[in-house]
């Protein structure tokens, strides 16, 4: 267990005010952190010689809809050195933005574009924040809970002008 | 002084060498690529959104359509995630059958890759050979599951039906013959001077960059990084099989080719081991709240009929929580991140697909290279757009 808790212990030592909650479910450790220091925390997890979370396995958004802050961003990290995963979660409000981690993991460039596209969460200091799946000029963010599954215009067939 | 202007070329989305509907805008200085911008989303079907309105069972067929060359592997990743969420135990026989199917599917997926990749570079013969062997695997799938490309064979708790009588002989015959077929492909390519010139030293980036770009699977192992989910986090009894992780050294297109060839040999060996040690017993966990009852009981017993009806119409309610489960798919690490709010459909259904991350490294790999190299690099990272766009 000590091995599993090492990143949590280190995070608690270095960011005592930002670690909000640590949960373990099905042997997976989830650290919920405050948004303000997310960049520093990611940087620390990436560069600390004992942790070395060099692989950003996944970055995705969550929409809690009725709660405030409304959105969440989840980072799945993997350390090639210790063969361990860590999940870092943070919450973002509806009109807020969150620091980009693109300068730490290059793959975050595309993941953050995807989250921006599908959830409408904006990332600060992102070099190229455009839509990635949907076309430029599309309105709405499909993975939000208030976006209908059929699409917003399913009952308004589009008839092009001739 | 004359002004140098870059020429912009639009490659795709309708282009045979982009393996689907990928569009890349290339900015060229002569034949050298200065900048490239991939545009995705032509195959975006909103699978993550769709699955949020379905029950956990209903989402299985969606996963077949992610990377449509690797349907069994996708099924496996998804059912593992749900089983982890539920904390379920899977019967040994089902686990072994899953391993067999996933490895056969890996061979089939690598065969498609090899055939099309070689075709892109100009070698047409391997395609005819590889599709011949792939056809045999698809015939096996058809007998086992009823479907060829999208079998939807796996179920939450096990597999949908037991192996049909006589299938073992057919699988054995395939396994027996397949190593010789790999030698056939190798005689055509491995020492072919044209092949070497088109692949050696092409698409190389530093190992650190590859990791930073989140590259996984054979592409990452080509760089010499020994990361394979089957070894790192053994699932479905992979720890009971003997196999090695083939790695390359410099990470060029040729290394990825060699890694995939060796992987096919190991997959062949894993299927053989699984077939030899295939245990008896049930193929589906017996949890009346989650797994469907046997079909014969449904037709004769009212309690089973009700159980079937409840599960099909309402699904089941896993506990609140979140899990991430991943498998080593043919392209790399395929993971599902499921968040449950305790209701009968997922609150968040996130698919981490290997091709998406691997493709993000493409621009870096082809920067400063010739335009002809784009084709061989795209082929070598083995993208499937169904999985990139989801």
What's the pLDDT tens digit per position in B257-315?
A: 999 999 999 999 999 999 898 888 888 888 888 888 888 888 888 988 998 888 888 88
Q: How far apart are the C-alpha atoms of B183 and B227, rounded to whole Å?
A: 26
Q: Which of B85, B225, B233 sits opposite A80 (nearest CB)?
A: B225
Q: How confident is the model at residue A1 (pLDDT cuts 50, 70, 90)?
A: very low
Report the residue count for chain B: 390
- Identify all chain A residues contacting B356, using CB atoms and an 8 Å cutoff: 110
Q: How far apart are the C-alpha atoms of B12 and B22, rounded to whole Å?
A: 6
Q: For the segment B197-255, what is each residue's pLDDT rounded down to a tens digit?
A: 888 888 888 888 889 998 998 999 988 888 889 888 898 888 889 888 998 888 889 99
- Identify all chain A residues contacting B350, using CB atoms and an 8 Å cutoff: 58, 60, 74
Contact B178, B133 (CB under 8 A): yes
**Residue B124 token pair:** 């047409």
Q: What ipTM does the predicted assembly reach?
A: 0.85
Inspect the interface and report whether the beta carbons of A60 and B40 lie closer than 8 Å.
no
pLDDT at residue B173 is higher than 70: yes
Q: How far apart are the C-alpha atoms of B213 and B226, rounded to whole Å?
A: 16
**B368: region left, alpha or beta (phi > 0 left; psi from -120 to 50 alpha):** left
For residue B379, give the nearest of B31, B365, B246, B368 by alpha carbon.
B365
pLDDT at residue B107 is higher than 90: yes
Per-residue model confidence (pLDDT) at position A19: 81
CA dist B290 → B281, B286, B316, B319 (Å): 19, 8, 6, 13
Inspect the interface and report whether the beta carbons of B41 and A83 lie closer than 8 Å.
no
CA dist B261 → B121, B128, B181, B182, B296 (Å): 17, 17, 11, 7, 43
Q: How confident is the model at residue A36 (pLDDT cuts 50, 70, 90)?
A: confident
Q: For the segment B54-69, what is each residue's pLDDT rounded down to a tens digit?
A: 899 888 999 988 888 8
- Average model confidence (pLDDT) across chain B: 88
For residue B318, give the nearest of B1, B79, B100 by alpha carbon.
B79
Average pLDDT over residues B154-181: 90
Q: Which CATH number fits domain B7-389: 1.10.645.10, 3.10.20.740, 3.40.640.10, 2.60.40.420?
A: 1.10.645.10
Per-residue model confidence (pLDDT) at position B259: 92
Per-residue model confidence (pLDDT) at position B385: 87
pLDDT at residue B375 is higher than 80: yes
Q: How far apart are the C-alpha atoms of A114 and A1, rounded to whole Å?
A: 35
Q: For the segment B77-99, what is each residue's pLDDT rounded down to a tens digit?
A: 999 999 999 888 899 999 999 99
Which of A11-20, A127-136, B377-386 bottoms out in mean pLDDT, i.e. has the lowest? A11-20
Inspect the interface and report whether the beta carbons of A58 and B348 lie closer than 8 Å.
no
Residue whose pair of structure tokens reads 């405050």 in the numeric block: A34
* Sign of the CA dihedral running A103, A78, A31, B59: positive
Per-residue model confidence (pLDDT) at position A4: 53
**Residue A9 token pair:** 């212990």
Domain ranges of chain A: 2-96
Question: Which residues of B lie inside 8 Å of A (Cβ-Cβ)?
Answer: 40-41, 44, 46, 48-50, 52-53, 84-85, 87, 208-209, 211-214, 216, 225, 227, 232-233, 321-324, 326, 333, 335, 337, 339, 348, 350, 352, 356-357, 360-361, 364, 389
Inspect the interface and report whether the beta carbons of B360 and A107 lie closer than 8 Å.
yes
Contact B290, B304 (CB under 8 A): no
User: Min CA distance, A10 vs chain B (Å)?
Assistant: 23
* Sign of the CA dihedral running A9, A10, A12, A13: positive
- B23 forms beta bridges with B39
Q: How far apart are the C-alpha atoms of B192 and B222, rounded to whole Å?
A: 20
Which of A106, A114, A128, A146 has the most B C-beta neighbours within 10 Å, making it the best mutation to test the interface with B? A106
pLDDT at residue A2 is higher than 50: no
pLDDT at residue A159 is higher than 80: no
- Identify all chain B residues contacting A25, using CB atoms and an 8 Å cutoff: 321-323
Q: For the segment A16-33, what is each residue's pLDDT rounded down to a tens digit?
A: 787 888 888 888 888 888
The CATH code belonging to domain A2-96 is: 3.30.460.80
Domain ranges of chain B: 7-389
Q: How far apart are the C-alpha atoms of B351 and B192, rounded to whole Å?
A: 39
Q: How confident is the model at residue A65 (pLDDT cuts 50, 70, 90)?
A: confident
C-alpha R_g of chain A: 18
Q: How far apart are the C-alpha atoms of A57 and B332, rounded to whole Å?
A: 11
**B280: region left, alpha or beta (phi > 0 left; psi from -120 to 50 alpha):** beta
pLDDT at residue B1 is higher than 70: no
Which of A55, A150, A151 has the most B C-beta neighbours within 10 Å, making it the best mutation to test the interface with B? A55
């Amino acid at each position: 267990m000590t091995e599993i808790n090492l990143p949590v212990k280190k995070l608690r030592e270095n960011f005592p005010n930002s670690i909000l909650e640590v949960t373990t479910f099905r042997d997976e450790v989830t650290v919920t952190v405050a948004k303000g220091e997310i960049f520093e925390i990611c940087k620390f997890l990436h560069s600390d010689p004992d942790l070395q979370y060099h692989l950003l396995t996944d970055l995705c958004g969550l929409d809690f809809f009725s709660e405030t802050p409304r959105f969440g961003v989840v980072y799945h990290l993997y350390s090639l050195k210790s063969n361990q995963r860590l999940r870092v979660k943070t919450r973002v409000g509806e009109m807020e933005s969150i620091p980009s981690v693109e300068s730490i993991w290059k793959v975050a460039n595309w993941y953050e574009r995807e989250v921006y596209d599908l959830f409408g969460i904006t990332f600060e200091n992102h070099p190229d924040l455009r839509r990635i799946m949907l076309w430029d000029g599309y309105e709405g963010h499909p993975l939000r809970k208030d976006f209908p599954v059929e699409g917003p215009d399913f009952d308004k067939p589009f008839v092009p002008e001739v | 002084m004359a002004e140098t202007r870059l020429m912009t070329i639009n490659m795709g989305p309708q282009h045979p060498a982009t393996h689907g509907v990928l569009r890349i805008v290339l900015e060229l200085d002569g034949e050298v690529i200065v900048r490239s911008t991939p545009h995705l989303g032509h195959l975006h079907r909103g699978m993550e959104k769709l699955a949020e309105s379905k029950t956990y069972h209903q989402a299985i067929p969606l996963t077949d359509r992610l990377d449509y060359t690797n349907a069994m592997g996708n099924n496996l990743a998804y059912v593992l995630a749900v089983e982890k969420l539920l904390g379920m135990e899977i019967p040994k026989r089902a686990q072994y059958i899953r391993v067999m199917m996933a490895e056969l599917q890996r061979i089939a997926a690598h065969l498609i890759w090899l055939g099309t990749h070689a075709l892109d570079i100009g070698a047409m013969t391997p395609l005819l050979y590889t599709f011949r062997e792939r056809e045999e695997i698809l015939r096996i799938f058809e007998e086992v599951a009823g479907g060829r490309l999208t079998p939807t064979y796996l179920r939450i708790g096990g597999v949908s039906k037991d192996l049909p009588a006589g299938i073992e002989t057919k699988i054995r015959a395939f396994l027996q013959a397949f190593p010789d077929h790999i030698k056939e492909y190798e005689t055509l390519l491995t020492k072919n001077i044209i092949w070497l010139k088109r692949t050696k030293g092409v698409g190389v980036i530093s190992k650190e960059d590859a990791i930073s770009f989140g590259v996984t699977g054979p592409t990452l192992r080509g760089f010499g990084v020994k990361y394979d989910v089957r070894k790192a986090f053994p699932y479905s009894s992979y720890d009971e099989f003997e196999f090695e992780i083939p790695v390359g050294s410099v990470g060029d297109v040729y290394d990825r080719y060699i890694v995939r060839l060796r992987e096919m040999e190991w997959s062949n060996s894993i299927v053989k081991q699984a077939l030899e040690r295939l245990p008896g017993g049930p193929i589906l966990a017996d949890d009346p709240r989650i797994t469907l009852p046997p079909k014969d009981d449904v037709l004769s017993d009212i309690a089973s009929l009700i159980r079937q009806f409840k599960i099909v119409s309402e699904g089941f309610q896993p506990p609140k929580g979140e899990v991430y489960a991943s498998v080593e798919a043919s392209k790399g690490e395929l993971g599902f991140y499921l968040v449950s709010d305790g209701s009968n459909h997922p609150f968040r259904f996130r698919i981490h697909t290997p091709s998406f991350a691997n493709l993000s490294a493409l621009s870096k790999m082809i920067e400063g290279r010739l335009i002809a190299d784009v084709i061989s690099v795209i082929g070598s990272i083995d993208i499937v757009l169904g999985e990139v766009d989801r």
